[in-house]
Amino acid sequence: MNPLLTAAQNAAEPLGTKSDSIVITGGKPLKGTIAVRGAKNLATKAMVAALLGDTPSTLKDVPDISDVQVVRGLLSVYGVKVTDGARGELHFDTSKVESAHFADIDAHAGASRIPILFCGPLLHRLGEARIPDLGGCRIGDRPIDFHLDALRQFGATVDKSYEGIHLTAPDGLHGAEIALPYPSVGATEQVLLTAVLAKGTTELKNAAIEPEIMDLIAILQKMGAIISVEPNRVILIEGVDRLDGYTHRALFDRNEVASWASAALVTHGDIFVEGAKQAEMMTFLNVFRKVGGAFDIQENGIRFWHPGGNLKPVTIETDVHPGFMTDWQQPLIVALTQAHGVSIVHETVYENRLGFTEALNEMGAQIVVHPSGLPDHPRRVARRDFEQAAVITGPTKLHGANIRVPDLRGGFSHLIAALSAEGQSVISNMGIIDRGYEHIIDKLDALGADFVYEG
């Protein structure tokens, strides 16, 4: 137990406290083919959606990552029978959904933020829901006020106690007019998962419209929901009396694709990412090309490589979809340490997502983080109060270092920095990377990385 961390952060620790270090000898280009499967940020939500169905559901292409295991554990606590099918298929039998105690929920929920999304489905099925302290990556405060405000608007009563949050809706939930203060991915999912079975119509304004949300809407439509996506971030949901299960193949993991693309650039490599698709990657591909990366879109995936020549600096802002995703900036920043000139990355989604650059500086990078952004810098759109900016001056030679993985995306960046660096690095706490990158060790092996894994 680390007294400097919150309960949720401590709960997240065990994943990364096994003896899970990797010793990397850098300097070898990553070359070969790897496959991506369903998106962490869709599959976990689709698993929760299964709770809404009166009949069984099947999700295909579920990635073998620890965040999926967490949600699987939680579903079993609520009486959902989850069974494995062939190659990444999960079946959900929801015929015996039952209430659970805080202690059991807590035991399974530790490292994830997904439990908050169980609220609507559990309120519909059981009239109550219990939510423990939430985990997830340490990238800011990550409050849940939008979620709780929306649930109150649907008619839920929210009681907070030392154990967590207890929600009740003895008279059922009704449709609502909800305007989110910010197009939050999680809060939009919360509204969707609650509104589909609420009595009446829900109008959601300022909704997130990420491809993972569109895929969740597709799943809910398969189940019998009536949802229309209107212009200007408005989503209308007409509540229905019941929903069936679904059969669905999860959308591919865009964040993993962007990560491997950056890995190819950083290591002067050549990686074919099977399962990657162009439409959902367009914003990333534009930036990748401007930096000097090459890609080739094929039927069954996208090939990314370093075509030689100098990488070029860029200025980017992370944003909600269709902007440049916050989860893409960390691996790209490693590539920008090799660009000739000064790059600027504004992080506008989370208030604390540039801390991972400290380790890159220890490896030889020249990155200055401005914790309150760069006020005088011309901005495309005025943002919320908090933003950070990283100013990256390149190119700088990277050398090996000992690094403890701080969070999922930051950890991947450290990994690829080590793979490109001169000399040896020891990266510990690799378990955090298992939260979102499937079979990372096998993939590094397939790409010819030079490492010894002490897992």
| Contact positions vs ligand EPU (CB under 6 A) | 40-41, 113, 137, 140-147, 182, 184-187, 208, 255, 325-327, 349-350, 408-409, 436
User: What is the smallest separation between the CB atom of 334 and ligand EPU, expressed in angstroms?
Assistant: 16
User: Is the Cβ of residue 130 or residue 254 nearer to ligand EPU in the bound state?
Assistant: 254
User: Is the Cβ of residue 56 or residue 183 nearer to ligand EPU in the bound state?
Assistant: 183
Which residues are registered as beta bridge partners of 236? Answer: 203, 228
Q: What is the DSSP letter of 278?
A: S
In contact, 190 and 151? CB cutoff 8 Å:
yes
The set of catalytic residues is: 137
User: What is the smallest separation between the CB atom of 321 and ligand EPU, expressed in angstroms?
Assistant: 8
In contact, 67 and 47? CB cutoff 8 Å:
no
Residue nearest to ligand EPU (CB): 186
User: What is the smallest separation between the CB atom of 258 and ligand EPU, expressed in angstroms?
Assistant: 11
In contact, 396 and 361? CB cutoff 8 Å:
no
Tokens in use for 311?
């990488």
Amino acid at 361: N
In contact, 207 and 235? CB cutoff 8 Å:
yes
In contact, 131 and 123? CB cutoff 8 Å:
no
Which residues are registered as beta bridge partners of 343? Answer: 392
User: What is the smallest separation between the CB atom of 188 and ligand EPU, expressed in angstroms?
Assistant: 8
Tokens in use for 74?
């939680």
User: What is the smallest separation between the CB atom of 451 and ligand EPU, expressed in angstroms?
Assistant: 23
**Which 3 state secondary structure label does DSSP give 371?**
coil
| 426/402 Cα distance (integer angstroms) | 5
User: What is the smallest separation between the CB atom of 134 and ligand EPU, expressed in angstroms?
Assistant: 9
| 197/121 Cα distance (integer angstroms) | 8
Helices (H), 166-231: 185-195, 211-223
User: What is the smallest separation between the CB atom of 140 and ligand EPU, expressed in angstroms?
Assistant: 5
Taking alpha carbons only, the member of 261, 257, 319 closest to residue 288 is 261
User: What is the smallest separation between the CB atom of 196 and ligand EPU, expressed in angstroms?
Assistant: 18
User: Is the Cβ of residue 403 or residue 433 nearer to ligand EPU in the bound state?
Assistant: 433
Helices (H), 204-297: 211-223, 254-266, 282-291
| 89/273 Cα distance (integer angstroms) | 21
| 219/132 Cα distance (integer angstroms) | 27
User: Is the Cβ of residue 40 or residue 306 nearer to ligand EPU in the bound state?
Assistant: 40
User: Is the Cβ of residue 36 or residue 421 nearer to ligand EPU in the bound state?
Assistant: 36
Taking alpha carbons only, the member of 224, 170, 228 closest to residue 197 is 224
User: Is the Cβ of residue 35 or residue 325 nearer to ligand EPU in the bound state?
Assistant: 325
| Strand order, beta sheet including 164-168 | 128-131, 164-168, 157-161
User: Is the Cβ of residue 211 or residue 245 nearer to ligand EPU in the bound state?
Assistant: 211
Taking alpha carbons only, the member of 203, 205, 202 closest to residue 179 is 205
User: Is the Cβ of residue 141 or residue 450 nearer to ligand EPU in the bound state?
Assistant: 141
Q: Give the start-end residues of each E strand in 299-358.
A: 301-305, 315-317, 341-347
Tokens in use for 435?
């939260």
Which residues are registered as beta bridge partners of 179? Answer: 205
Would residue 395 be called left, alpha or beta, if left means φ above 0 and alpha means ψ between -120 and 50 degrees?
beta
